[in-house]
Chain A
Amino acid sequence: MSTSAVAHQPLSARGFALPPNTGKVVRAVVTYSILILFALAMIMPFVFAVANSFKELPDIAANPMRLTPGVRADGTPYSWTLQGYERALNTQQINFPRAIFNSFFIAITVTIMRVLFNSLAGYALARIRFPGRGFAFAALVGTLMVPGIVLLIPRYLILNQLGWIDTYWALLVPYFADAFGIFLMKQFFESIPREIEEAAEIDGASRFRMFFVIILPMAIPALTAMAIFAFQGTWNDFQGPLIALNLNRDLYTLPLALAFLRGVTGDAVQWDLMLAGSVITTLPMAVIFFIFQRFFIEGVSYTGVKG
Chain B
Amino acid sequence: MAVAAPSIGKRGGFQLSAKGQERAAGFTFILPALIIVVVFIFLPLFSAFLISFTNWNGLQPPFEAQGVGLRNYERIFGLDGTTVVRDEFFVAIKNTFYYTLGVVPTQTALALVLAFIVNQQFLRFRGFFRVAFYFPSITSSIVIATIFLWLFNRNGVINGVIGGVANFLGLQYSPVTWINDANGIIHNFLRLFGVTIRTAPAWMTETTILGQTIWQWISGPSVTMLAIMLLAIWTTTGTMMLIFLAALQDIPRQLYEAASVDGATRWQQFRLITVPMLRPTTFFVLTIGLIGCFQVFDQIYVISQGNPAGTTKTIAWIVFRNLRDSQAGLGAALAFVLFVIIAVFTVIQRRLVGKTVQQ
Binding site for B on A (CB under 8 A): 3, 6-7, 24, 28, 31, 34-35, 38-39, 41-43, 45-46, 48-49, 52, 61, 64-65, 116-118, 120-121, 123-125, 128-133, 136, 139-140, 142-143, 145-158, 160-161, 173-174, 176-179, 182, 202, 206-208, 211, 232, 235-236, 238-239, 242-243, 254-256, 258-259, 262, 269, 271, 274-275, 277-278, 281-282, 285-286, 289-290, 293, 296-297, 300-301, 303-304, 307
* Binary contact track B238-281/A, C-beta < 8 Å → 1, others 0: 11001100110000000000001101011000000000000011
> At the interface, yes or no: B1 with Cβ under 8 Å from chain A?
no
Given A49-B150, A139-B37, A259-B301, answer yes or no on A156-B142 (Cβ-Cβ < 8 Å).
Answer: no
Query: Contact between B26 and A297 (Cβ–Cβ < 8 Å)?
Result: no
Number of cross-chain contacts by CB at 8 Å:
292
Query: Contact between A259 and B302 (Cβ–Cβ < 8 Å)?
Result: yes
> At the interface, yes or no: B5 with Cβ under 8 Å from chain A?
no
Contact partners of B41 in chain A: CB under 8 A: 143, 146, 151, 154
Contact partners of A133 in chain B: CB under 8 A: 26, 30
Query: Contact between A269 and B123 (Cβ–Cβ < 8 Å)?
Result: no
Q: How far is the CB of B234 from chain A (nearest CB, A)?
A: 7
Contact partners of A303 in chain B: CB under 8 A: 239, 243, 288
Task: Give the interface segment out of B86-94, B98-106, B131-139.
Answer: B131-139
Task: Give the interface segment out of B43-51, B168-176, B185-193, B206-214.
Answer: B43-51
Q: Of B48, B135, B150, B316, which is within 8 A of A157 by CB?
A: B48
Contact partners of B67 in chain A: CB under 8 A: none
Query: Contact between B40 and A3 (Cβ–Cβ < 8 Å)?
Result: no
* Binary contact track B282-305/A, C-beta < 8 Å → 1, others 0: 011001100100110110011000
Task: Give the interface segment out of B75-83, B196-204, B327-335.
Answer: B327-335
Query: Contact between A158 and B323 (Cβ–Cβ < 8 Å)?
Result: no
Query: Contact between B118 and A157 (Cβ–Cβ < 8 Å)?
Result: no
Q: How far is the CB of A86 from chain B (nearest CB, A)?
A: 18
Q: How far is the CB of B263 from chain A (nearest CB, A)?
A: 7
- Chain A residue at minimal CB-CB distance from B298: A238
A198 to B302, CA, bound (A): 55
A49 to B144, CA, bound (A): 10
Which of A149, A182, A274, A289 has most B Cβ within 10 Å? A149
- Chain A residue at minimal CB-CB distance from B143: A278
A281 to B145, CA, bound (A): 13
* Count, chain B residues at interface, CB 8 A: 103
| 27 A-B pairs whose Cβ atoms sit less than 8 Å apart in the complex | A45-B157, A45-B234, A48-B147, A116-B32, A139-B37, A139-B38, A145-B343, A145-B346, A149-B319, A152-B320, A153-B51, A153-B319, A153-B331, A157-B44, A157-B48, A158-B39, A177-B34, A178-B37, A182-B33, A236-B138, A242-B301, A274-B150, A278-B147, A282-B139, A286-B138, A297-B130, A300-B134
Q: Is chain A's interface secondary structure helix, strand, loop, or mixed overall?
A: helix
Query: Contact between A297 and B242 (Cβ–Cβ < 8 Å)?
Result: yes
Query: Contact between A208 and B323 (Cβ–Cβ < 8 Å)?
Result: no
Query: Contact between A34 and B117 (Cβ–Cβ < 8 Å)?
Result: yes
